[in-house]
C-alpha cells in the first residue's frame, strides 16, 4: 500500500500489553506471553489532518505461532468522533503489520491473544528544518564528539514529520544539484528510489538503481516474514558524482571536518562518487550507506536508532558482501584482493573485508583485541574514539558471528535479536533472550571465530 505525501503521519505510542488466551483453548496460560519485536508507526488518516484529534484506540490482537498478527479487532476508541471509522481502519491496518516473538508454553510457541492500547500523537513540529549536520560544530570538535552530534541530529531528523524531513531532503538535494554536471545529468527512478548521476549515461544510472534495489532486497531477506513491507513515504534520492572533487565539494557542506567515501542524510539522501580504486570499493560504499537508509526507513521506530556498534557493524556486514549474478551474497567475502589495470601493469588492493579481518587478528596477536562485551557496550564516543578502526572491524565481525556463529542463528536468532534491539531493548538483554547467553559467555567462541577470517 502507498501512503502518498500525507505530511500528517502520526506516531503510535504503545500504552499497555496484556497477555491472554485464544478462545477455545482449555490448557493453562502459556509460560510467556508474546513480546513485540517490530511495531512500525501508525499513520494518521488523511481525514484527520488539522483536526487535533488524538484518540486512544484499544485493540485485541490474535498472534499465531510465527508471531504474525492474524486478527486485529478494535474494542474502543476514546474519545469517539465522526472519524472513528477512519481511525479504526488506520489502527487495524497498522497493528496488522506488527510482529511478535510468539507466546510460549513449555518452551514451544503457541497462538495467543493480547490487548493493546495505542494513542495517536501529533508529531513534534518544533524542530527547525535545517539541512546537513548541526551548524554548531567547529573545527576544534573531536571526531568522537562530532559523531555524537551527528548521531543526535540523526535521531532528531528521524523524529520529524514527513513534511519537515522532505523539506530537509529538498535542501540537500538542491546542494547536490549544484555540483552535478548539467550536460551529463541523467536520472533513473522507480517507485522507491531516484538516482541522479553525471557518470556513464542512462545505462549506468539504471545499473546504479539496480544496485540500490538489490541492497534493500537483500537486507529484507534477512528478516524473512518478520518485517512486512512498509508503506513508501518518499523516494530515497541517490546522487552519484563522476569525480571525487565534485563529491568532496558537496560533502563539505554537510559533513565538515571529515573525510568520507559516501554520504547518508537521514532525511532521505545518499551521495557517492565513482573515483574509487575498484568497482568493488564503490559497491561496498554504496551498500554500506544504503543499509543505514534501510534501517532508518524500514526497521527502527521513528526517532530511535540502533546502537552505534550494531548500526555500523550491520552496514559493514552488508557492504563487505560479495556479489554474484546481480545478487548480494550476505556474509560471503571470498574476494581477498581486488585488482585494477594501470597501463601495462596491474595494481592489487586489499578488499575491505580483508583489511578489517587483518586489523582484528593483529589486535588479537598484540593482546589488545576488543571483547564482545566491550563491543556490545560501546557508545558513540567510544566507538569513534582512538580505536575507531578496531571498533569498525570488530563491529563487523561481531555481527558476522551473531548471524553465522552457529547453525540456526542466521534463520531465527539473529533476526529476532536485531528486531529486539530495533524496538529499544538493551543489546545485552536482547542477547540473553535470543541467544540464551551473555556476551561474556560467548566471548571465547567469538574470539575463535575472529581467527577464522
The mean-pLDDT minimum among 139-153, 306-320, 382-396 falls in 139-153
The mean-pLDDT minimum among 64-68, 151-155, 172-176 falls in 151-155
Residue 33 pLDDT exceeds 90: no
The mean pLDDT value for 324-341 works out to 70
Q: Cα separation of 35 and 100, whole Å?
A: 5
pLDDT at 15: 31
Is residue 323 in a domain? no
pLDDT at 231: 63
Same domain, 389 and 439: yes
- Average pLDDT over the chain reads 81
The pLDDT tens digits for 226-250 are 777 666 678 999 999 999 999 999 9
Is residue 316 in a domain? no
Query: Which structural domain range is residue 418 located in?
Result: 328-453
Same domain, 390 and 444: yes
Dihedral of CA atoms 219, 222, 227, 232 in degrees, nearest 10, equals 10
Residue 29 pLDDT exceeds 70: no
The enclosing domain of 58 has a CATH number of 3.30.2420.10
pLDDT at 125: 39
Q: Cα separation of 145 and 385, whole Å?
A: 9
Is residue 312 in a domain? no
Residue 22 pLDDT exceeds 80: no
Same domain, 344 and 448: yes
The pLDDT tens digits for 171-192 are 999 999 999 999 999 999 998 9
Residue 337 pLDDT exceeds 80: no
Q: Cα separation of 125 and 159, whole Å?
A: 9
Q: Cα separation of 22 and 114, whole Å?
A: 9
pLDDT at 24: 33
The enclosing domain of 127 has a CATH number of 3.40.30.160
Nearest to 176 by CA among 82, 240, 95: 240
Q: Cα separation of 336 and 350, whole Å?
A: 7
Is residue 379 in a domain? yes
Nearest to 330 by CA among 206, 224, 190, 416: 224
Residue 23 pLDDT exceeds 60: no
Same domain, 81 and 144: no
Same domain, 301 and 186: yes
CA distances (Å), 61 to each of 39, 138, 166, 250, in order?
13, 51, 34, 48
Is residue 421 in a domain? yes
Number of domains in the chain: 3
If pLDDT is split at 50, 70 and 90, which confidence band does 159 have? confident
Same domain, 193 and 228: yes
Structure-block grid coordinates of residue 31:
509460560
Among candidate residues 92, 121, 150, the one where a domain is terminated: 121
- End-to-end Cα, the chain, rounded Å: 43
Residue 349 pLDDT exceeds 80: no
Same domain, 115 and 152: no
Residue 120 pLDDT exceeds 50: yes
Amino acid at each position: 500500500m502507498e501512503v502518498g505525501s500525507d505530511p500528517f503521519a502520526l506516531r503510535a505510542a504503545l500504552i499497555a500489553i496484556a497477555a491472554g488466551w485464544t478462545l477455545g483453548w482449555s490448557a493453562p496460560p502459556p509460560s510467556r506471553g508474546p513480546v513485540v519485536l517490530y511495531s512500525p508507526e501508525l499513520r494518521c488518516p488523511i481525514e484527520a489532518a488539522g483536526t487535533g484529534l488524538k484518540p486512544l484506540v484499544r485493540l485485541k490482537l490474535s498472534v499465531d505461532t510465527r508471531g504474525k498478527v492474524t486478527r486485529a479487532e478494535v474494542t474502543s476508541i476514546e474519545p469517539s468522533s465522526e472519524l472513528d471509522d477512519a481511525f479504526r481502519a488506520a489502527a487495524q491496518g497498522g497493528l496488522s503489520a506488527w510482529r511478535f516473538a510468539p507466546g510460549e508454553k513449555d518452551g514451544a510457541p503457541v497462538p495467543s491473544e493480547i490487548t493493546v492500547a495505542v494513542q495517536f500523537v501529533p508529531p513534534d513540529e518544533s524542530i527547525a528544518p535545517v539541512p546537513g549536520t548541526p551548524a554548531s560544530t567547529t573545527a576544534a570538535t573531536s571526531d568522537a564528539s562530532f559523531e555524537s552530534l551527528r548521531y543526535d541530529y540523526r535521531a532528531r531528523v528521524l523524529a520529524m514529520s514527513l513534511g519537515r524531513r522532505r523539506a530537509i531532503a529538498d535542501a540537500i538535494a538542491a546542494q547536490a544539484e549544484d555540483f552535478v554536471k548539467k550536460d551529463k545529468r541523467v536520472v533513473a527512478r522507480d517507485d522507491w528510489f531516484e538516482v541522479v548521476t553525471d557518470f556513464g549515461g542512462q545505462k549506468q544510472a539504471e545499473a546504479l538503481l539496480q544496485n540500490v534495489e538489490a541492497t534493500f532486497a537483500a537486507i529484507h531477506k534477512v528478516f524473512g516474514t518478520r518485517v512486512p513491507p512498509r508503506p513508501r513515504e518518499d523516494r530515497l534520492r541517490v546522487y552519484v558524482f563522476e569525480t571525487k572533487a565534485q563529491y568532496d565539494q558537496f560533502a563539505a557542506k554537510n559533513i565538515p571536518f571529515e573525510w568520507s567515501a559516501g554520504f547518508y542524510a537521514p532525511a532521505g539522501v545518499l551521495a557517492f562518487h565513482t573515483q574509487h580504486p575498484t568497482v568493488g570499493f564503490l559497491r561496498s560504499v554504496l551498500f554500506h550507506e544504503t543499509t543505514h537508509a534501510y534501517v532508518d526507513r524500514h526497521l527502527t521506530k521513528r526517532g530511535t536508532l540502533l546502537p552505534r556498534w550494531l548500526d555500523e557493524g550491520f552496514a559493514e556486514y552488508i557492504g563487505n558482501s560479495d556479489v554474484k549474478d546481480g545478487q548480494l551474497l550476505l556474509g560471503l567475502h571470498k574476494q581477498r584482493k581486488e585488482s585494477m589495470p594501470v597501463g601495462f601493469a596491474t595494481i592489487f588492493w586489499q578488499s575491505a573485508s580483508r583489511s578489517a579481518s587483518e586489523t582484528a587478528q593483529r589486535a588479537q596477536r598484540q593482546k589488545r583485541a576488543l571483547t564482545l562485551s566491550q563491543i556490545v557496550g560501546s557508545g558513540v564516543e567510544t566507538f569513534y574514539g582512538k580505536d575507531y578502526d578496531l571498533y569498525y572491524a570488530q563491529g563487523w565481525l561481531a555481527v558476522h558471528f551473531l548471524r553465522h556463529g552457529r547453525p540456526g542463528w542466521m534463520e531465527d536468532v539473529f533476526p529476532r535479536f536485531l528486531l529486539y534491539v530495533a524496538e529499544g531493548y538493551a543489546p545485552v538483554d536482547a542477547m540473553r533472550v535470543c541467544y540464551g547467553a551473555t556476551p561474556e559467555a560467548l566471548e571465547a567462541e567469538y574470539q575463535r571465530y575472529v581467527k577464522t577470517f
